[in-house]
A and B are shown apart, each in its own frame.
Chain A
Amino acid sequence: MIENSKCECGHNNPVGTILCESCGKPLDEETKGKETIVQEMRYEGKARRSQTFQSSPFDMVWNFFSSVKVAIILIIITLIAASIGTIFPQEKFVPSSDPAAYYEKQYGLWGKWFHILGFSDMYNSWWFFTMVSLIGISLVVCSLDRVIPLYKALKNQQVRKSVDFLKRQRITAETTLTAAEADEKLAKLEQALQSKRYQVKREGNALLAEKGRISRWGPYINHIGLIIFLFGVLLRYVPGWYLDETMWVREGEVKKVPELPYYVKNEGFDITFYDQKNVPKSKQDAGPIAQKYETRAVLYEKDWDTGKLKPVAKGSILVNHPLAYKDLRLVQADFRIGLLDALDLKLVDKESGKALGKFTVDLYDLKPNQVFRVKDKEVVLLDYYPDFALENNRPITKSPDPNKPAFVFEVREKGQAKGERSWVISGQNLDELTKENRYAIDLAGMKMVDSTGLMVRVDKSLNVILFGGVICMIGLVMGFYWHHRRVWALVDDGRLYIGAHTNKNWYSLERELKLIGEFDTLQVKRN
C-alpha cells in the first residue's frame, strides 16, 4: 500500500510512515483523499512496528498484542468474568469443607453450575491468571509500539509544515493577507498564544505553538506503573517472599509461627463492647457491639545456637493495628471465647466419701504416663482422648482439640506397680464401668481461657507494588490534568493558513482559540 516513502519535500521517511516526518504531508493515497487527518495525527503519522513488520510469527504475536482493540476486548472479558464471580460467595468465604455439596444445597442448580464451571474459586484459577497476564502483555506491547515513534516525532518537530498538513487539521483557519501584513499578523498570533501559555517557535513565515506535551507521556508512565504493579504481584511466587497463614494462640500459650523461626505469646485477649447507651435503639436487639479486639502479644525469635527464645517485639494487636517485625505482620483476625484449658480433678475415697485431694490436668500439655500425686496416692494417666467419641465401640479422638476430653487414670498406692483403673469423660467419672473401685475421680473445677486468631503475613514485594501504584498515579495525573495542544501557522503565497490539533478536549481548544481575536475565520470540522 505504500508506494513511495520519499516525500515531495525531499525527506526520506521509513516504510510505513503515513504523514511525512518533516512537512506532515500525507504519504499514502488513502490519507491524501481525506479531509481531516485527526486519526492519523494520533501517533504523528509515524511508522509503528506493528504496521511495518507483518511476516514472522513474532510479528504476528506482536501485532496482535499491539492492538488497542484487543486490549479493550481483554479488559471487557476480565470485567465480565470478575462480575460473575461475585454472584455467589467465593469458596474461601464459604463455611464448608465440601464446596461442591455446599453450593448445590445452598444455591440450587445455579450454585451447582457455578461450582462446576469453576466460578466459585475463579480469582485463583489458571484462566483468570491468564487473562490478567494477557492484559499485562498487551500493556507492554501497546506501549512500546507507540511510545517510541511518538517520542521521536515530538522530539524532532518541524515548525514549518506543508499547507496540505495544516488544511487537513480538524481546526483550521485561512485568510488572505499582503506580504507586509504577514509579519505583523504572525507576531500578534505569537504574542496572543504566548499569553495562553503556549511555547511558540517561529521560523520566518511559519509558527508552531505548543503546550502540555507532558500529557502525551501520561498513558505510558501509567502503563509502566501498572506493569510494575503486576510484576510486584508476580514476585509473590518467589519462595519466601509471600506467606499467608493463620494461627490460634490461647491466653498464656507460646506458639510457633507457621513456617518462620518466630514464636508468639498471647499474654491476654480482650473484647471491649460499646456502652449500650451509645448504641441506637434499633441496633440494641442485635446484642452488644464490639468496640475493640485486642491481643497483648510478645514476639520471640529463636536463637538457633542456644535454642533460647529472645523477645523481639511486644505490643497490642488490634484490628487496623497489626504487630509488625521486619517483614512479618501479625493481624488480629478472629477469636474464641471460653475454651477449656485445664481441669481440676479431685480424688474421692468412696468408702469414707471424703475427698483426698485435688490435681490439675492441663489439657494441652499432657505426657503419656504422667503422674499426679495426691497425698500418698499416685494418679497415672494411661490414656487421653481430647475429643472423645466411640467408633465401633472403641474409644477414639475426633481431633486434637479438647472439646470432650476423656481420660483413663490408674490410681496406685505409693510404690505399687498396679492399681485400679477408672474412666473420666468430660469431668464425669464413669462409675458403672468400675463399680468395685475404691476411689473415684470427680470434677472440682475448670479453667477457661480465650484464644486469639491471628493472620501471619509476609509480603516482601509490597514496596514494588506500592511503587507501581505511585508511578501509575503520576502517569494518570499527567495524562488527564494536562492537555497537549498545538497550533501551526504558515504564510504561503499571500494566504495565512492555521491548523490546530489536540488529542482530547476539542471543544476547550476551540473555545480557547476563539478567545484569541486573531482567529476570526476559525473552522471546526465535525466528524
Chain B
Amino acid sequence: MEQLMENLLLCTFFLYLLSTVAFVMGTNKGSEKESPKSRLWGNIGIGMSIVGVVFQLMFIITRVLIGGHWPTSNMFEFTAFLCFTIVIAFIILYFMYRSAVLGAFVMPLAVVLLAYASVFPHEVQPLIPALQSIWLPVHVSTAALGQGAFGVGFVAGLIYLVFQFGREKEGKNARWLEITLVIVLMFVGFSAVNMAFKTMNYEAKFSHIVDGQPAVQEYSLPPLVAPHDSEVISIDRFAGLGQPLMEAPSWMKGKDAASQLNSVLWGVISGAILYGLIRLIAKKPLRGILHPMVSRVNPDLVEEISYRAIAIGFPIFTLGALIFAMIWAHEAWGRFWGWDPKEVWALITWLFYSAYLHLRLSRGWHGVKSAWLAVGGFVIIMINLIVINLVISGLHSYA
C-alpha cells in the first residue's frame, strides 16, 4: 500500500512534467491561438495535467486509507496539496481562457513544488489530538484552494512581466524579475540537491544545548554551518568535507535553526550555480530565455487571467483561511482568533489581496503594477508556508 502511494506520487510528478513539456512545445509552434499544431500541444498539455490531478487525487485517497486522516497535516502533505490545488485552479482557468502559455509556466511551478514537498519526510504520522477534527480537511483544503488560485494569479503576473521586460537589458523591473526567477531556481536547486543526498542516505549529527537541555540535531545535507557551540557526533564525508565550515550565529537557538540555515545556504548556493551554468550556456538572462515563449501572447489576456485567478481565489481563501479557521479555532482552542503567527499571516495575506483588489478596481492599477502585486501576494503565501512553519514556532508548527 505504501509502495502504491509512492508510485502514484511519482506518476503525478512525471505527468506534470510531461504536461509542462507539451505546453512549452505549444508556445513555440506558431502564434497563440491560430495554429492547429499549437492547439494540439495545448490539448495534450491540459490532458496530461488532468490525468496528473486524477493521479494525485488517487495518491491522496491512498494516503487517507493508510493513515486514516486527510493528508494536510505536515509540510510534505500540505506542500504537495498546494501543488494539487494550483493545478486544479489552473485547469479551471485554462477552460475559461484557453491559454497554453499559462500552462507552460504553471505546470513547471507545480513540478518544482512537488519536488520541494518531497524534501520533507513522507511517512504517515499519527494525528495529534489538536488535528483530530473534520475541520482539518475542510479548513486546510479550502484555504489551499484559495492559495492555489493565487498561485495561478502569480504565474500569470510573471508571464506578463516576462512579456514586458524579458528583452530589457536593465532597469528596476528587469532586475527584480530576474531576482524572482532566480529565487524559483533556488527551489529547483535545493530540491535537486536534497534528492541527491537522500539517495546517498547522507547524514550528519551534532549535539548541542537547546533551552538548557542537551539535544541532537540531524542534517540530511552536508553541514556548511554547524549549530552554535555544538559537537560532532557523526558526519558522512562528502567531497572532502569532513568538518562543518562554520558555526551558526549564537542567536540561532531554535531546535532545528542551524539545520534550516544550512538548507537555505544549500538552496542559495545550488540556485546560484544553476543560474551561472544557465547563463554560461544560454548567454542570456533567465527572462530573456523565457521571453520567446511569451512573445506572441496577448498581454491583455494574461493580465486579466492574473486578476481573474485572484478574484476567484479571494472568496475561497476568505472562507477557508479565515472563516473556517475561526470556527475550528473556536472549537479546538476555545477562541476564534488568537494571534498565532500562522493566523496573523493568513490575515496579512488577506489584507494584502484586499489592498490589491482595491488598488485595481478602485484606483485603476492595471498592467505592471498589478502584476507585481500578484507576485508579492504569492511571496507572502510562501513566507507563510515556509518561514512560519519552519522558523517561527507557534500552534500551527506541525512539520
Are the CB atoms of B315 and A506 closer together than 8 Å? no
CA distance A466 to B322 in the complex (A): 11
Are the CB atoms of A79 and B301 closer together than 8 Å? no
Which residues on the A side are within 8 Å of B303 (C-beta)?
Answer: 507
Residue A1 CB within 8 A of the other chain:
no
The one of B339, B359, B363 that contacts A123, using a Cβ cutoff of 8 Å:
B339
The digit string for A445-465, where 1 denotes a CB below 8 A from any CB of B, is 000000000010101001001
Which residues on the A side are within 8 Å of B358 (C-beta)?
Answer: 68, 71-72, 75
The one of B126, B339, B345, B348 that contacts A291, using a Cβ cutoff of 8 Å:
B126
Residue B129 CB within 8 A of the other chain:
yes
CA distance A90 to B393 in the complex (A): 11
Are the CB atoms of A505 and B359 closer together than 8 Å? no
Known: A72-B359, A280-B124. A82 touches B348 (CB 8 A): yes
Residue B35 CB within 8 A of the other chain:
no
Nearest chain B CB to A419's CB is how many angstroms away?
A: 47
The digit string for B295-316, where 1 denotes a CB below 8 A from any CB of A, is 0001011011001100110110
B250 closest partner in A (C-beta)? A108
Nearest chain A CB to B70's CB is how many angstroms away?
A: 14
CA distance A108 to B123 in the complex (A): 38
Are the CB atoms of B121 and A280 closer together than 8 Å? yes
Residue B382 CB within 8 A of the other chain:
no
Residue B368 CB within 8 A of the other chain:
no
Nearest chain A CB to B397's CB is how many angstroms away?
A: 11
Are the CB atoms of A504 and B311 closer together than 8 Å? yes
Residue B347 CB within 8 A of the other chain:
yes
B319 closest partner in A (C-beta)? A473
Are the CB atoms of A506 and B128 closer together than 8 Å? no
Flag the segment in B9-17, B163-171, B330-338 that touches A. Answer: B330-338
Residue B344 CB within 8 A of the other chain:
yes
The digit string for A270-289, where 1 denotes a CB below 8 A from any CB of B, is 00001000111111000001
CA distance A212 to B84 in the complex (A): 32
Residue A93 CB within 8 A of the other chain:
yes
Are the CB atoms of B355 and A76 closer together than 8 Å? yes
Which residues on the A side are within 8 Å of B323 (C-beta)?
Answer: 469, 472-473
Are the CB atoms of B129 and A42 closer together than 8 Å? no
Known: A107-B251, A280-B124. A503 touches B361 (CB 8 A): yes
Residue A292 CB within 8 A of the other chain:
yes
The digit string for B178-214, where 1 denotes a CB below 8 A from any CB of A, is 0000000000000000000000000000000000000
Interface size on B, residues (CB 8 A): 57
Residue B352 CB within 8 A of the other chain:
yes
CA distance A123 to B338 in the complex (A): 9
B393 closest partner in A (C-beta)? A89
B356 closest partner in A (C-beta)? A72
Nearest chain B CB to A477's CB is how many angstroms away?
A: 5
Are the CB atoms of B348 and A465 closer together than 8 Å? no
Which residues on the A side are within 8 Å of B366 (C-beta)?
Answer: 527
Residue B292 CB within 8 A of the other chain:
no
Which residues on the A side are within 8 Å of B311 (C-beta)?
Answer: 480, 504
Residue B133 CB within 8 A of the other chain:
yes
Are the CB atoms of B132 and A331 closer together than 8 Å? no
Known: A331-B334, A462-B336. A505 touches B308 (CB 8 A): yes
A106 closest partner in B (C-beta)? B253
Which residues on the B side are within 8 Å of A465 (C-beta)?
Answer: 326, 336
CA distance A282 to B339 in the complex (A): 31
B218 closest partner in A (C-beta)? A282
B310 closest partner in A (C-beta)? A480
Known: A72-B358, A473-B315. A507 touches B300 (CB 8 A): yes
Residue B318 CB within 8 A of the other chain:
yes
CA distance A477 to B317 in the complex (A): 12
Are the CB atoms of B304 and A506 closer together than 8 Å? yes
Flag the segment in A96-104, A317-325, A343-351, A378-386 that touches B. Answer: A317-325
Are the CB atoms of B123 and A75 closer together than 8 Å? no
Which residues on the B side are within 8 Å of A321 (C-beta)?
Answer: 331
Known: A79-B352, A86-B344, A472-B318. A331 touches B333 (CB 8 A): yes
Nearest chain A CB to B135's CB is how many angstroms away?
A: 8
The one of B304, B322, B348, B362 that contacts A507, using a Cβ cutoff of 8 Å:
B304
Which residues on the A side are within 8 Å of B304 (C-beta)?
Answer: 505-508
The one of A68, A86, A289 that contacts B388, using a Cβ cutoff of 8 Å:
A86
CA distance A289 to B132 in the complex (A): 13
Which residues on the B side are within 8 Å of A282 (C-beta)?
Answer: 121, 123
Which chain A residues in 245-296 approach chain B with CB under 8 Å? 274, 278-283, 289-293
Which chain B residues in 229-244 approach chain A with CB under 8 Å? none
B345 closest partner in A (C-beta)? A86
B304 closest partner in A (C-beta)? A507
Are the CB atoms of A83 and B345 closer together than 8 Å? yes
Residue B7 CB within 8 A of the other chain:
no
CA distance A87 to B388 in the complex (A): 10
Which residues on the B side are within 8 Å of A293 (C-beta)?
Answer: 129
Residue B392 CB within 8 A of the other chain:
yes
B383 closest partner in A (C-beta)? A83
Residue A85 CB within 8 A of the other chain:
yes
Known: A76-B355, A82-B347, A93-B394. A291 touches B314 (CB 8 A): no
Nearest chain A CB to B371's CB is how many angstroms away?
A: 14
Nearest chain B CB to A265's CB is how many angstroms away?
A: 20
Which chain B residues in 42-76 approach chain A with CB under 8 Å? none
Are the CB atoms of B315 and A477 closer together than 8 Å? yes
- Of the candidates A72, A333, A466, the one having the most CB atoms from chain B within 10 angstroms of its own CB is A72
Which residues on the A side are within 8 Å of B344 (C-beta)?
Answer: 82-83, 85-86, 123
CA distance A284 to B352 in the complex (A): 41
The digit string for A489-527, where 1 denotes a CB below 8 A from any CB of B, is 000000000000001111110100000000000000001
Residue B278 CB within 8 A of the other chain:
no
Which residues on the A side are within 8 Å of B359 (C-beta)?
Answer: 72
- Some 29 contacts from A to B, beta carbons below 8 A apart, are A42-B362, A75-B355, A75-B358, A76-B351, A79-B351, A79-B352, A82-B348, A87-B392, A89-B392, A89-B394, A106-B253, A108-B251, A244-B335, A280-B124, A280-B125, A290-B128, A319-B130, A320-B130, A320-B133, A331-B334, A459-B336, A465-B326, A469-B323, A469-B326, A476-B314, A481-B315, A504-B307, A507-B298, A507-B300
Q: Chain A residues in contact with chain B, CB under 8 A?
A: 38-39, 42, 68-69, 71-72, 75-76, 78-79, 82-83, 85-87, 89-90, 93, 106-108, 123, 244, 274, 278-283, 289-293, 318-322, 329, 331-333, 455, 457, 459, 462, 465-466, 469, 472-473, 476-477, 480-481, 503-508, 510, 527
Q: State the 9 A-B residue pairs at the shortest beta-carbon distance, nearest first.
A: A280-B123, A331-B334, A476-B315, A319-B129, A507-B304, A455-B334, A68-B362, A86-B341, A79-B351
Apart from A72-B363, A93-B394, 19 more pairs, CB < 8 Å: A38-B364, A72-B359, A75-B354, A82-B348, A83-B345, A86-B341, A86-B345, A87-B392, A89-B392, A123-B339, A244-B335, A281-B123, A331-B332, A462-B336, A477-B315, A480-B315, A506-B300, A507-B304, A527-B366
